[in-house]
Amino acid sequence: MNPESISNDAQLDASGKLIHLLGLKGLPKKELEHILDVADDLLDGQGNLKKSKALDDMSVANLFFEPSTRTRNTFEIAAKRTSANTINVDLANSATKKNETLMDTMQTLKAMQIDMFVIRHKKNGLPHRIASNIDGVAIINAGDGINAHPTQALLDMMTIRQHKGSFEDLSVAIIGDIRHSRVAHSDIQALSTLGVKDIRLVAPQYLQYKGTLTEGISRLDNLQEGIDGVDVVMTLRLQKERMVAADIPNEQAYFKTYGITEEKLKLAQPEAIVMHPGPVNRGIELDSGVADGPQSVILQQVTNGIAIRMAVMVVLAGKA
Ligand code: NCD
């Protein structure tokens, strides 16, 4: 399914209340900022995560049909820190392997009184289909194909806001495999909603964003131009598993042109932050000096990911 034709309408009920989190397209700015505010309140003054009792009467199931380290673990930690019962459904050994349909598996889990499902799947739009077919449960999209990864974009916005305060005057470069990146697709939505007027999509032609450009968004293939004077440098992994063989670049050549080194980073603002959703391939997207350097906020993104996922669950449960 073409990401541009996927609608997130099912995530808001008739009164505009958020009942699922499927994607950031169509999510009102007020609602997005509310999630960021709730997440900020889940950190104490030192940036440490608080605990909450908000979901002590709820059960959350993680359904990850694709590999994941940080997203799955941070969802699990987030559910536990909000006092929910949490299960990681063992999909490798589940009845879907005995040809049970996914909808039947979902109905079965619902009958076990699961209230929220966190779903990652390689098919664009699958969480949306589930949300439209199963009533009375909340669906959280943890990454569908190349379409969307809303909690990653929310944690990215939280991190940017911690460093930069506001969005309107920022210049942001998103660099790398934008074409196959659900993270980039959701980040573009979030940055636009929050009023960023200079969003530069920097990639070689074959990895470039294929969607429609709205105001303030530009496509560039020259890294030097793309990074010049920006406040935020967002880098992305080369997602080889989603490329046709002919498109897989030579990694050394890619690093030479698009990899972020300390030298190239000097073209950005001196206070620019460097982000990456992980997993990082050192020496391909970023050199280690940058990944571990003073401008990198990569590990802060991971911690913020827990706060954001807690906030999303609390908001969906109507507890904030
Ligand atoms: C991303 C994903 O899976 O979409 N990772 C993540 O969620 N932290 C990005 C990637 O795999 O490159």
Residues near 5 by beta carbon (within 8 Å), at least 6 away in sequence? none
Q: Whose CA is closest to atom 12 on ligand 1? A: 237
Name the DSSP letter for residue 260.
Answer: B
276-302 b/e (C-beta count within 10 Å ≥ 16 → b): bbbebbeebbbbeebbeeebbbbebbb
Q: How far is the CA of 14 from the centre of ligand 1 (A)?
A: 32
| pLDDT band, residue 245 (cuts 50/70/90) | confident
3-class DSSP state of 273: strand
Residue to substitute in 183, 281, 303, 308 for testing ligand 1 pocket (most ligand atoms within 8 angstroms of CB): 183
Band of residue 185 on the pLDDT scale cut at 50, 70, 90: very high
Question: Looking at residue 7, what DSSP letter applies?
Answer: -
CA distance 157 to 174: 13
pLDDT in tens, 150-176: 999 999 999 999 999 999 999 999 999
pLDDT of residue 205: 94
pTM: 0.97
Mean pLDDT confidence for 16-40: 97
Question: In the predicted model, is pLDDT for residue 144 greater than 90?
Answer: yes
Whether residue 77 sits in one domain with residue 171? no
d(CA 298, CA 279): 10
Q: How far is CA 300 from the centre of its chain?
A: 14
Both 162 and 215 in a single domain? yes
Q: Is 252 exposed, middle or buried (0-12, 13-18, 19+ CB in 10 A)?
A: exposed
Residues 30 and 51 in one domain: yes
Q: Ligand 1: which of 62, 73, 152, 304 to mutate, judged by most atoms within 8 Å of the beta carbon? A: 152
Distance between CA 313 and CA 19 in Å, rounded? 10
Give me the count of residues in the chain: 320
Range of the domain at 108: 3-148+302-316
Whether 120 and 38 map to the same domain: the answer is yes
- pLDDT of 247 > 90? The answer is no
Same domain, 37 and 11: yes
Contact call for residues 151 and 187 (beta carbons, < 8 A): no
Phi, psi of 20 (to 5 degrees): -140, 160
CATH number of the domain bearing residue 50: 3.40.50.1370
Residue 120, ligand 1, Cβ within 6 A = no
pLDDT of residue 137: 97
Is the same domain home to 159 and 141?
no
168 and 88 within one domain: no
pLDDT (tens digit per residue) in 189-244: 999 999 999 999 999 999 999 999 999 999 999 999 999 999 999 999 999 888 88
Confirm or reject: Cβ of 34 under 6 Å from ligand 1: no
User: Based on the domain organization, do 33 and 53 belong to the same domain?
Assistant: yes
Query: Are 154 and 288 part of one and the same domain?
Result: yes
Statement to judge: residues 133 and 210 lie in one domain: no
57-67: average pLDDT: 94
Pocket test for ligand 1, best of 141, 149, 151 (most atoms within 8 A of CB): 149
Q: Give distance in angstroms: CA of 305 to centre of ligand 1.
A: 12
Q: Is the CB of 150 under 6 A from ligand 1?
A: no
Q: For 21-30, 34-43, 183-192, 206-215, which range has the lowest pLDDT when averaged over its residues?
A: 206-215
Closest residue by Cα to atom 1, ligand 1, is 277
Model confidence at 246: pLDDT above 90: no
Q: Do both 157 and 293 map to the same domain?
A: yes
pLDDT above 80: residue 25: yes
Number of domains the chain is built from: 2
Domain match, 241 and 206 both? yes
